[in-house]
Amino acid sequence: MSISFSRGSLIALLAATVLSLGPGTVSAAEDAVVIPPPAVDEAASSGTETAIFAGGCFWGVQGVFQHVKGVESAVSGYAGGDAGTAQYETVSTGSTGHAESVQVRFDPKQVSYGKLLQIFFSVAHNPTQLNFQGPDQGTQYRSALFVSDPEQRKVAESYISQLDKAHVFPQPIVTSVSDTTGFYPAEAYHQDFLSLNPNYPYIVYNDLPKIENLKSLFPADYRSQPVLVRKAKG
């Protein structure tokens, strides 16, 4: 039997915890892991490339990639299911095949797909958790990569094998790799959620530490001003 939790109820619980303990006393449940760069990566090319990452709640994953140099846009959405079920309330049932995902458009001359994978596995989520991430449980929170071409697949699969062989994580990586069949942007209120709601208890506890880990572990790739969906549209 699958178990699912309401993000709203978790937010209420986290809010009570933060208020009772006071600022600065609550830390993220998941720590970043220092991992080597991929031995196999794409060669730098001109133009813009697109990649899709799923690693739990898209608020934090989007927030991390929005702070990476070379990323031109990071949009929260749904991948893995059909267009007709790509709505938050439906996806939250865990029965659609969708995963909460982030579509990243980036300049491969500034940041490679391999570097984005290193950041994804190191600070954006825990790739050893099967069908859950932190407090969120269900297949919609699975760890997954949706690749756009054979080259991305080669880099992704090689890197997962490399990290597993090096035993950089205490458990095997469960991240799935599949072809992109469609990406559907999430509702407007989900976009830029981390940047627009830095005091939201769920963000404070689960996601802001990811930004600090990015800044600490990848200083050359970190930028202080995120690239926002709203700003890009405006």
What are the beta bridge partners of residue 54? 144
Q: Which one from 32, 54, 57, 211 is the annotated catalytic residue?
A: 57
Q: Tell me how far CA of residue 205 lies from CA of 108, 131, 142, 198, in angstroms.
A: 32, 20, 20, 10
The distance from CA 122 to its chain's CA centroid, rounded to whole angstroms, is 11
DSSP structure string for 12-62: HHHHHHHHHH-TT----SS-----PPPSS-PPP-SS-EEEEEEESSHHHHH
- Which residue type does 45 have? S
**Residue 217: which residues within 8 A CB-CB, separation 6 or more?**
32, 34, 122, 123
Phi-psi region of 97 (alpha: psi -120 to 50; beta: other; left: phi over 0): left
Residue 140 designated active-site: no
- The separation between the first and the last C-alpha atoms of the chain, rounded to the nearest angstrom, is 45
For 56-99, the three-class secondary structure string (H helix, E strand, C coil) is: CCHHHHHHHHHCECCEEEEEEEEECCCHHHCCHHHHCCCCCCCE
Residues forming the active site: 57
